[in-house]
Amino acid sequence: MCSKSPVAPTYQKHSVECIGSFSDFSVETMAAEIGMARTTLYKKLMAITGQRPAEFIRTIRIKRGRALLETSQMQITEIAYAVGFTTVKSFTMNFKSIYGITSSEFLRSDGSKQ
């Protein structure tokens, strides 16, 4: 388990570490790990990141997915499940909403895989 940290500036870093540790990480898990109520977590994350907790978790998962696309030989399907998405479609849709291209287009443009 991730260790709890009561210091405000470390919430985001701590959350990112925890999200990276669990593929089934949820808003409830995040609130429990940080040690605050969901409503407090919502308010703090909105103030720090401008994102709701579910959006924040999704963004971290997509960024981890991109890193895996760049550095591993895993297939998109494997990466989608490894970072916590339940369908490849949702991974691809969210990837495109953040980066403006699909994960397949990213691989083709990157040239590191094919």
Q: Where are the alpha helices (DSSP H) in 1-114?
A: 11-21, 27-34, 38-49, 53-71, 76-82, 88-99, 103-110
Band (25; pLDDT cuts 50, 70, 90): confident
Neighbours of 79 (CB within 10 A): 22
- For residue 94, is it within any domain? yes
- The tens digit of pLDDT for each residue in 56-91 reads 999 999 999 999 999 999 999 999 999 999 999 999
Q: What is the CATH number of the domain that holds 51?
A: 1.10.10.60
Residue 27 CB coordination number (10 Å): 16
In which band, very low, low, confident or very high, does the pLDDT at 113 lie, cut at 50, 70 and 90? very low
The verdict on residue 114 lying in a domain is: no
Number of domains forming the structure of the chain? 1
pLDDT of residue 9: 52
State the CB neighbour count (10 A cutoff) for residue 8.
10
Taking 60 as the threshold, does the pLDDT of residue 43 lie above it?
yes
In a domain, 2, yes or no: no
Q: Is residue 1 one of the residues assigned to a domain?
A: no
Is residue 3 a part of any domain in this protein?
Answer: no
The domain in which residue 62 lies consists of 8-109
